[in-house]
Amino acid sequence: MAAPIEPRVVAEGVSKWFGALVAVSDISFDVGAGVTALLGPNGAGKSTMLRMLCGLARPSQGSVRALGRDPRTDTSVTRLIGLVPQQESVFEPLTAHRFVALAATLHGVPEPGAAAARMLETVDLDPTDPRKLPAYSKGMRQRVKVAQAIVHDPHVLVLDEPLTGLDPRQRADMVALFRRLGSEGRCVIVSSHVLDEVERLGSQILVMSQGRLAAAGDFHELRALMDDRPLRVRVRTDRPREVAGALLEGGTAVGVRLDGDDAFELDTNDARALAHALAPVARDRGARLFEVHPLDADLEGVFRYVVER
């Protein structure tokens, strides 16, 4: 009897360059069953990395193994991989059911029409909808893409920004679906540039920044590291002096700098504590808050901090 296939994806020293542009630089990791989030800002090289994991692109250097085989040269391994690509384009003349049934047919799934209908229902879409795909909303198309990626029950599921365009309820449903697929023993790799999205997806995380693997491991440890970093926030209020003073006195701010008559910038080591304290402090002093704007909260800033640590 053949040994069961272990759902595992391994990258060893993988680099990819396009001419002088280095998109991915010397990345190694080994991920198995469960959900692994690939986090990084736009342009970090996530999509290029995911394309190489599926075999769509050949690494310029290093190697990728999916389920123990080279997905670039071994066509049979594609039977066990599902991909939700980042691009929004879909086959315009097709209905959702025909699109998913096409994927099922090409994967050799028995009764592709019935399988397609089941998968569309799984992602909360009507398999009898006669509309062509261009008539679907962005969120609906995104769910169709997920359905076509899982219709053949893959061992490895690669999802490139799959939550884009979904409303909060749909996001929650999709996250639950990905977690279920992971808990059933599949290797699910999900890319995102949204930190909160990743938090809900799973515990394992790979952080990419500027083509490199900046961090890898347990999400909660990484999140704590990110939350602990100093943060600079600009606050616009009609009583900047009073509010800034109270925050400094309460220890929420570790430094303040007034900026004209209606604003100040503060440094804090605890973003969550600031979020809880700011509104009550302003209310107690009769101040009105016009704007609260983190100055370095973009992912690039977060990653820079993580990488520098």
Partner 1 sequence: MSASAIRTSARGSLAALYRLLLRTQITVPRLVGIATLGALSVIIGVFARWDSDPSQAAADAVSSYGLGLVVPLAALWLGTSAIGDLVDDRLLVYLWLKPVPRWQLPAAGVLATATVVVPLAALPVAATALAAGANDVALPALLAASLAGFAYAGVFVAAGFWFRRAAWWGLAFVLLWENAVANLAEGSARLTVVGWANSVLATAPDVEVTPSAGSATVAFIVLPAVAVTGWLVATWRYQRADID
Q: List interacting residues with partner 1 (CB under 8 A).
A: 51, 54-58, 75-76, 78-79, 81, 83, 85, 87, 89-94, 102-103, 105-108, 148
Shortest Cβ 101–partner 1 spacing (Å): 9
Q: Which residues contact 106 (CB under 8 A, 6 or more apart)?
A: none
CB of 234 to partner 1, least distance (A): 39
Complex with partner 1: residue 92 or 261, whichever CB lies closer: 92
Nearer CB in complex with partner 1: 75/128: 75
Structure tokens at 76: 């049979």
Note whether 219 and 37 are within 8 A (CB). Answer: yes
User: Closest separation between CB of residue 31 and partner 1, Å?
Assistant: 19
The residue (of 94 and 292) whose beta carbon lies closer to partner 1 is 94
Strands in the chain per DSSP E: 9-18, 21-31, 34-39, 61-66, 81-84, 156-160, 187-192, 204-209, 212-218, 231-237, 255-258, 263-268, 289-294
Task: Give the H/E segment covering residue 99.
Answer: helix 96-106
- Give the shortest CB-274-to-partner 1 separation in angstroms: 42
Q: CB of 70: closest distance to partner 1 in angstroms? A: 13
Neighbours of 3 (CB within 10 A): 5
118 by DSSP, 3-state: which? helix
User: Which of 232, 245, 234 lies closest to 291, judged by CA?
Assistant: 234
**Cβ closer to partner 1: 72 or 304?**
72
Return the number of the residue (78 or 191) whose C-beta is nearest partner 1. Answer: 78
CB of 191 to partner 1, least distance (A): 15
For partner 1, the closer of residues 189 and 281 by Cβ is 189
Quote the CA–CA distance of 206 and 288 in Å, as a whole number. Answer: 41
CB of 141 to partner 1, least distance (A): 13
How many CB atoms neighbour CB 179 within 10 A? 16
Select 101 or 205, whichever has its Cβ closest to partner 1. Answer: 101
- Name the one residue in this structure whose structure tokens are 């569309």: 120
Q: What are phi and psi of 65, to 5 degrees?
A: -125, 125
